[in-house]
Amino acid sequence: MTSGAAIEDAARSIRAGRLVAFPTETVYGLGADAADDRAVAAVFEAKGRPRFNPLIVHVAGRGEAEALAVFDDRARRLADRFWPGPLTLVLPRAPASPVSWLASAGLDTLALRWPAHPLAEALIRAAGRPLVGPSANRSGRLSPTTAAHAAAELGQSAAMVLDGGPCRFGLESTVVALGDGLPILLRPGALDADAIEAETGPLAEPAPSAGDEPRPSPGMLLRHYAPDSPLRMGAEAARPGEAMLGFGAVDGDLNLSPSADLAEAAANLFAMLRRLDGRGGIAVAPIPERGLGRAINDRLRRAARG
């Protein structure tokens, strides 16, 4: 089990931009400072996901959550009823939210949850930061429900694995999006949807997904981030009217990573696309198709298709 000194160590690691696996009541998460682009990129790299999916941001308090996202009455009611606990709320990002754009994969919504586990809460409070925390497994494998499983999956990438014993639920949190219209059940999970409907009335369910593609969106909530300007990949130079997003030696108005470091490029990707958006077009330098480059190219391809 885990001592106060271990929590302090883990919190220092988080503040230094490192990764810490931590227990929650659902499954073990791979934690990192949600406001640190490089740390969030390291989470994607450790999990080996072929694409950037938006991550849940873990907080320890509704007040803290309200600094990150915009709560309406319905969101407040759900948070008061079910937090701390296995409910994740997808809400509009607050204008001054410090959360990394990579954490939300460029979307202007954020998924937030306050986990009901003393070690998770202690870690978030000691770090003084909101934490991203996808399940602490490599992509395509089962979510770990013990510290030993988490260590076997991702012990190499994490500075520490906090041991909180076996997880109470062993199943991920229920994800509900609140926007205009009915709340949408994006992911069934540990909190029974009936309990949520008792508070909100009927939930809408998105159409079933094919394979591991994200579910198609009813409305805007699940759209992938796409710039307004047309995007061109594999560009060696900008054409007239285009803004250039460079990589390595192929320079531009902005450069994802002058040293051609894919983790740095991932960390900068969404924030830089947003900065260059709104011009005639965005030309993006070639990105190698390896490691995090695969996830970067996946996002660029989707954005290029519009």
Structure tokens that stand for 202 in this block = 């009927």
Strands 131-132 and 87-92 turn out to be unpaired
135 binds Mg ion (CB under 5 A): yes
**Minimum gap (Å) between residue 186 Cβ and Mg ion:** 14
26 binds Mg ion (CB under 5 A): no
| CB-nearest residue to ligand TXA | 29
Question: Which of the listed partners (ligand TXA, Mg ion, none) does 150 bind, with a CB threshold of 5 to 8 Å by partner kind?
Answer: none
Structure tokens that stand for 18 in this block = 């490192």
7 binds ligand TXA (CB under 6 A): no
Question: Which of the listed partners (Mg ion, ligand TXA, none) does 187 bind, with a CB threshold of 5 to 8 Å by partner kind?
Answer: ligand TXA
Residues 201-230 binding ligand TXA (CB under 6 A) are 214, 221-222
Q: How far is CA 149 from CA 11, 36, 293, in A?
A: 21, 26, 28
Judged by CB under 6 A, the stretch of 69-77, 108-116, 156-164, 200-208 that binds ligand TXA is 108-116
The H-or-E segment that residue 111 falls in is strand 109-113
Pick the binder of ligand TXA from 115, 130, 248, 281 (CB under 6 A). 115
Residues 6+ apart with CB under 8 A from 27: 135, 136, 143, 144, 145, 167, 169, 170, 171, 172
Question: Which of the listed partners (Mg ion, ligand TXA, none) does 56 bind, with a CB threshold of 5 to 8 Å by partner kind?
Answer: ligand TXA
Judged by CB under 6 A, the stretch of 168-176, 225-233, 269-277, 280-288 that binds ligand TXA is 168-176
In angstroms, the CA 66 to CA 44 distance is 26
The DSSP bridge partners found for residue 145 are none
Stated length of the chain: 306
> Which one, 151 or 235, has the nearer CB to ligand TXA?
151
What does the binding site for Mg ion look like in residue numbers (CB under 5 A)?
Answer: 135
